[in-house]
């Protein structure tokens, strides 16, 4: 006989949503609301297909299964740990990546834009020969770029050696050891001399005021991967200042900046910036052609 009032997944799902709501959790690491996050955590914990809730909603669980799920729910609510750190995985645009506390949880609208190979700004994705990702973290965008540009070599750089350990695992798990090269160092510094058709980056861009107001979930992530200085543009300035030296004549630079469009326009108002449309609107990712970058 069970010692808890819970019997089915439906029972646990209702409880989880209530628990997450009462705890005032913040979302944004793969889910945008308590219900979706609860569904994901319960299905993952029970080793059930993540896209198949309905057939299992009224399945009776063993006492051991119930206690295991309750422990996960409580950890998420009490410790405010992002779900991805609990499950050791993150899904981005249908692709699974390994993650842990050495990297921020992958989430990028650039990944969304890579699904059509950055067209029309890239005329033919199959003609792209070299791609660079700066601030790679988990390596997720490098992996998606390798898929978007099937004949390109991809270089990926990060300042954090622990982050690159996670990236190497993802590169290997996706069978891309021969196409993705990882470099440890500060932006362009560790790279051999070459030119890239595409440079992509989701750099640290959170401004100082916003850093102070981050919910606890985000404070579990490496600060160096988030903090972008007073206006959030410290790393972006350095990338823009150097990018033209690393791009082909018709190359492009694509930068994700979250909610910092106002600071981007204040810092780089003299440049020809193209704001790209994503599912979150037109304020999260911008593009600059090589010819429009400072020399």
The residue among 56, 87, 118 that closes a domain is 87
How many CA atoms within 13 Å lie on the side-chain side of 205?
21
At 217-234, the pLDDT tens digits run 999 999 999 999 999 999
Q: Does residue 151 sit within a domain?
A: yes
pLDDT (mean) for 41-69: 96
Q: pLDDT-based confidence at 171, cuts 50/70/90? A: very high
Q: Does residue 245 sit within a domain?
A: yes
Decide if 163 contacts 222 (C-beta within 8 A). yes
- Asked if the model's pLDDT at residue 2 lies above 50, the reply is no
81 and 164 inside one domain = no
pLDDT (mean) for 172-184: 98
H-run or E-run covering 287 = strand 281-289
Q: Does residue 3 sit within a domain?
A: no
Q: Of 205, 198, 191, 202, whose CA–CA distance to 251 is shortest?
A: 198
Domain holding 54, by residue range, is 9-87
Q: Does residue 93 sit within a domain?
A: no
139 and 73 inside one domain = no
Instruction: Tell me how many domains the chain contains.
Output: 2
45 and 158 inside one domain = no
At 14-50, the pLDDT tens digits run 999 999 999 999 999 989 999 999 999 999 999 999 9
Q: pLDDT-based confidence at 1, cuts 50/70/90? A: very low
| Predicted local distance difference test score (pLDDT) of residue 4 | 75
127: CATH: 3.40.50.150
Decide if 236 contacts 264 (C-beta within 8 A). yes
Decide if 141 contacts 209 (C-beta within 8 A). no
- Asked if the model's pLDDT at residue 153 lies above 70, the reply is yes
62: CATH: 1.10.8
194 and 110 inside one domain = yes
Decide if 101 contacts 220 (C-beta within 8 A). yes
At 105-148, the pLDDT tens digits run 999 999 999 999 999 999 999 999 999 999 999 999 999 999 99
Q: Does residue 92 sit within a domain?
A: no
């Amino acid at each position: 006989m069970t010692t808890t009032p819970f019997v089915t997944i439906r029972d646990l799902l209702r409880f989880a949503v209530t628990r997450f709501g009462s705890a005032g959790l913040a979302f944004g690491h793969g889910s945008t609301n308590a219900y979706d996050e609860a569904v994901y955590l319960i299905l993952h914990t029970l080793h059930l297909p993540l896209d198949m809730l309905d057939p299992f909603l009224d399945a009776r669980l063993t006492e051991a299964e119930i206690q295991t799920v309750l422990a996960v729910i409580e950890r998420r609510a009490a410790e405010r740990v992002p779900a991805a750190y609990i499950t050791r995985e993150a899904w981005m645009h249908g692709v699974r990546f390994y993650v842990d506390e050495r990297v921020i949880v992958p989430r990028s609208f650039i990944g969304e834009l890579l699904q059509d190979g950055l067209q029309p700004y890239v005329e033919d994705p199959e003609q792209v020969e070299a791609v660079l990702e700066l601030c790679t973290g988990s390596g997720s965008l490098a992996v998606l770029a390798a898929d978007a540009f099937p004949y390109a070599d991809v270089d990926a750089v990060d300042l954090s050696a622990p982050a690159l350990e996670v990236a190497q695992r993802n590169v290997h798990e996706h069978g891309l050891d021969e196409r993705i090269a990882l470099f440890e160092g500060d932006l362009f510094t560790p790279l051999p001399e070459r030119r890239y058709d595409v440079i992509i980056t989701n750099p640290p861009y959170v401004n100082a005021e916003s850093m102070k107001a981050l919910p606890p979930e985000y404070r579990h992530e490496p600060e160096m991967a988030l903090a972008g200085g007073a206006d959030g543009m410290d790393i972006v300035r350095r990338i823009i200042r150097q990018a033209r030296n690393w791009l082909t004549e018709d190359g492009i630079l694509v930068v994700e900046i979250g909610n910092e469009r106002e600071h981007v326009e204040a810092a780089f108002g003299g440049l020809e910036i193209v704001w790209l449309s994503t599912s979150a609107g037109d304020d999260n990712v911008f593009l600059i052609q090589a010819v429009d970058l400072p020399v």
